[in-house]
Amino acid sequence: MRLDNLQTGAMMEILCNERDGRIWATAITLIISLGAPYREVLTDLPARDSAFAALPVFRRGLFCFLSTFCEAEPLHGPASPLEENPMNRDEKIRLSLPSKGRMGEAALELLADCGLRVRKTNPRRYAASIPTLPGLSVLFQRPADIVVGVRDGSVDFGVTGMDLVAERRGANGSVLVVHDDLGFGCCRLALAVPEGWRDVETTADLASHAHALDRPLRVATKFPNLTGEFLRDHDVGSYDLVEAEGALEVAPTIGYADVICDLVSSGQTLRDNRLRPLEDGVVMRSRAVLIANRAALRTRPKALEVARLMLEYIEAHARAEEHLAVFANMRGESPEAIAARMFEQETLGGLQGPTISPVVGRDGEGWFAVHIVVRRKALFDAVAELRAIGGSGVVVSPVAYIFEEEPDRWRAMMERLDGGTDDENGVGR
């Protein structure tokens, strides 16, 4: 048996917070006997505010002791024959998140907001866990590599841009989009030309310009498949795709391309580099998505369970974000009479209907507390309508989750799971 990430994390908490020597001795014995990745435990400790971290000499001593008595094991790679055996692949579900940048931060923020906080035991390591989803390992990769990992099945789930999914998913249907809009990473893949090309405003203008050149039009891009397809569809004539990494916007200035096809969000980078997007040059609109390996979902019940839990949390949180809980006091003869008044209003119907209960008041009977969930956008209408029918003492609070019977995206995913064909907007593939 070997301690997994979660157990190792728990062990670390014990070591960090515990000052009782007997507990220490037990934790160390466990580390040794169960073969925990003790190096991770120890390398994490200095960052912690703990009595242990304050004793570097003792920590070094302990490290030497463990290094001597524990079987040397690599930090990465298979930890035991159990994990090496592909038959045991079901033991561990892997989710890959963007390793850095805006996407990386937004993915961690979304997961935390949804109650799926990622716990990085060591900021230097490219692995983590989500305590809400035991048995899931989190890895950090470049967004482009995430698509490849999910496609090949080396990871089961990934959060990345739809643009990269469309570019790199391949034709074998192994990448399934589980959630098609995580609410961040919105951008468009667009063709942009130098500002000085005054007569080139549309793709038709670009085609004329390209036809007049005595050489192919050079287009710098990180998306050769999507860009090539777009240029062919728009009959731009002969072109060369210049595949490049990093900031493409400098390509026309430096001279290694005539135009670019890249991701645009605010458009500021294009303007800074004296480039202008074509009016009809949007190759695709993109946003962050959750993808999964189709075979993993089909053959590994644990992967399906993780998909369900992630969708439950993400969907319930997204729904909750759009709503607020409203409480008010109201006079009335009975709950039914008050409900009848509320149903006559536009915004007071609640999800199913209002919850109405008697208030035990000091000034006699006839008061009821009403509780409804209203759409955030309709809050002020709801307050006005409550007042109009005798509501007072209106209290409004945020909602953490709204769980429906079954998440819509779960149902949609299950319907698509056994298919494998592409659809027009790329979601069902």
The span from the CA of 242 to the CA of 270, in Å, is 18
Q: How far is the CB of 270 from ligand AMP (least distance, A)?
A: 6
Pairing of strands 93-98, 136-141: parallel
What number of other Cβ atoms are within 10 A of residue 311's Cβ? 21
**Based on CB atoms, which residue is closest to ligand AMP, 72 or 254?**
254
Q: How far is the CB of 227 from ligand AMP (least distance, A)?
A: 13
Q: By CB under 6 A, which span of 171-179, 237-245, 260-268, 398-406 interacts with ligand AMP? A: 260-268
Q: By CB under 6 A, which span of 23-31, 264-272, 334-342, 348-356 interacts with ligand AMP? A: 264-272
Interacting residue with ligand AMP among 68, 172, 268, 352 (CB under 6 A) = 268
How many chain residues are in contact with ligand AMP, going by CB under 6 A?
Answer: 13
Q: How far is the CB of 174 from ligand AMP (least distance, A)?
A: 23
**Based on CB atoms, which residue is closest to ligand AMP, 245 or 418?**
245
275 is a site residue for ligand AMP (CB under 6 A): no
Phi, psi of 25 (to 5 degrees): -60, -40
**Taking CA 39 as the corner, what is the angle to CA 12 and CA 93, rounded to the nearest 5 degrees?**
75
Interacting residue with ligand AMP among 115, 170, 216, 267 (CB under 6 A) = 267
In Å, what is the CA distance from 214 to each residue of 72, 218, 237? 64, 12, 12
**Based on CB atoms, which residue is closest to ligand AMP, 268 or 397?**
268
Spell out the residues 6+ positions from residue 140 whose beta carbon is closer than 8 angstroms to its own.
96, 97, 98, 99, 100, 104, 126, 127, 128
Residue 209's H or E segment, with its range, is helix 203-212
Site for ligand AMP in 92-111 (CB under 6 A): 103
Query: Which residue, 178, 143, 160, 419, is CA-closest to 313?
Result: 178
Q: Which residues pair with 159 in a beta bridge?
A: 290
**Based on CB atoms, which residue is closest to ligand AMP, 9 or 161?**
161
262 is a site residue for ligand AMP (CB under 6 A): yes
- Look up tokens 């493409």; give the residue: 248
- Integer-rounded Cα Rg, in Å, for the chain is 28
Q: Would you give the binding string for ligand AMP spanning residues 165-194, x where CB under 6 A is met? A: --------------------x-x-------
264 is a site residue for ligand AMP (CB under 6 A): yes
265 is a site residue for ligand AMP (CB under 6 A): yes
What are the residues binding ligand AMP (CB under 6 A)? 103, 161, 185, 187, 247, 262-269
